[in-house]
């Protein structure tokens, strides 16, 4: 495997981060997760724009142009021979600094790109659906940390993820400070009730996922009524269908939330319809703009 790091392609064993890098010391940096299908970068522009927007929000200047960034990702994909199930993880850190919190004592940000295979969930779960819990750990509020910043500090999500792992599950739903459904530890969430597709609004304190946006687009194209609004935990548990969306997860049915069985305990028809629409979308040139 070759890692692109600050303009060089390095063997994995050579790609090292300085112990004084503020990305490591303080989680001061941003990242993206991007899928590769058929050797092509999925929703490249949307992901690149989001990374640069995240960096701008924390006054972190990405040391490469967007085109240089795209060229570097393309080189990584080609060099590592990625086709389907490929995954790109670009990371921009504040860079090497001192043992102090001041971000602007770091002379130059650092950037590296990992391109590898990914499988977030076992393949059989796409046929059977998965169970989740509602985590006790609440989502950090937008006043504390802007959810639009995809930062290296994911401890809030990790602590909720541990709750799920502790009970033998793979994912947890996180509520916001007001007790409404926000998102999962690594995915956005949708529910279906009486034929209407519902998802928490951005104001709930969520990351605006690229796969979430594509799912909304595909639902509207199919004529499905869609509402973005606050969702209570009881609504989620009483839904006809629930599913997750994410770069690595794609579209994953949820068949149980805590002790509540969703629908008939199997992936629902709208979930299947949108998953198929997503897979069809992957085959189009529009998916790689």
Residue 118's pLDDT is 86
pLDDT in the model for residue 110 = 97
Task: Return the pLDDT at 226.
Answer: 98
Averages of pLDDT over each 10 residues, the chain, 289 residues: 97 97 98 96 98 98 97 98 93 97 96 92 92 97 94 96 98 98 98 98 96 98 98 98 96 98 98 98 96
Structure tokens at 30: 């941003």
Domains of the chain: 2-117 (3.30.470.10), 125-288 (3.20.10.10)
2, 113, 159 from 8: Cα distances, Å: 10, 10, 35
* Residue 35 CA, distance from chain mean position: 10
Which two structure tokens, joined as six digits, stand for 264?
């008939």
Are the C-beta atoms of 84 and 105 separated by less than 8 Å? Answer: no
Confirm whether 150 is a catalytic residue: yes
Q: Quick one: pLDDT at residue 122?
A: 86
- Taking residue 208's Cβ as centre, other Cβ atoms within 10 Å add up to 13
Identify the pLDDT of residue 120: 76
Beta-sheet pairing, 196-199 with 226-228: parallel
Write a three-state SS string for 213-235.
Answer: HHHHHHHHHCCCCEEECCCCHHH
Among 2, 66, 150, 193, the one annotated catalytic: 150
* 60 DSSP assignment: -
Alpha carbon distance 278, 214 (integer Å): 8
């Amino acid at each position: 495997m070759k890692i692109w790091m600050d303009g060089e392609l390095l063997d994995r064993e050579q790609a090292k981060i300085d112990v004084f890098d503020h990305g490591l010391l303080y989680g001061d940096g941003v990242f993206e997760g991007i899928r590769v299908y058929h050797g092509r970068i999925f929703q490249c522009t949307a992901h690149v724009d989001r990374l640069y927007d995240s960096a701008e929000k924390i006054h972190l200047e990405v040391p490469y142009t967007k085109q240089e960034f795209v060229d570097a990702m393309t080189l990584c994909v080609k060099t590592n021979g990625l086709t389907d199930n490929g995954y790109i993880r670009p990371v921009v850190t504040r860079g090497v600094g001192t043992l102090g919190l001041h971000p602007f004592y770091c002379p130059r940000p650092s950037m590296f790109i990992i391109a590898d295979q990914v499988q977030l969930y076992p393949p059989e779960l796409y046929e059977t659906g998965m169970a989740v819990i509602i985590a006790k750990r609440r989502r950090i509020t937008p006043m504390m940390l802007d959810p639009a910043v995809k930062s290296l500090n994911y401890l809030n999500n990790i602590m909720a993820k541990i709750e799920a792992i502790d009970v033998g599950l793979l994912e947890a739903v996180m509520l916001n400070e007001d007790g409404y459904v926000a998102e999962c530890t690594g995915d956005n969430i949708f529910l279906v009730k009486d034929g209407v597709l519902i998802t928490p609004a951005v104001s709930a304190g969520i990351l605006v996922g690229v796969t979430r946006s594509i799912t909304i687009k595909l639902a509207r194209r199919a004529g499905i009524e869609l509402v973005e609004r606050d969702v209570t935990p009881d609504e989620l548990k009483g839904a006809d269908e629930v599913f997750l969306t994410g770069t690595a997860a794609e579209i994953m049915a949820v068949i149980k939330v805590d002790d509540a069985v969703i629908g008939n305990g199997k992936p629902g028809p709208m979930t299947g319809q949108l998953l198929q629409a997503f897979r069809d979308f992957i085959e189009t040139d529009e998916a790689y703009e």
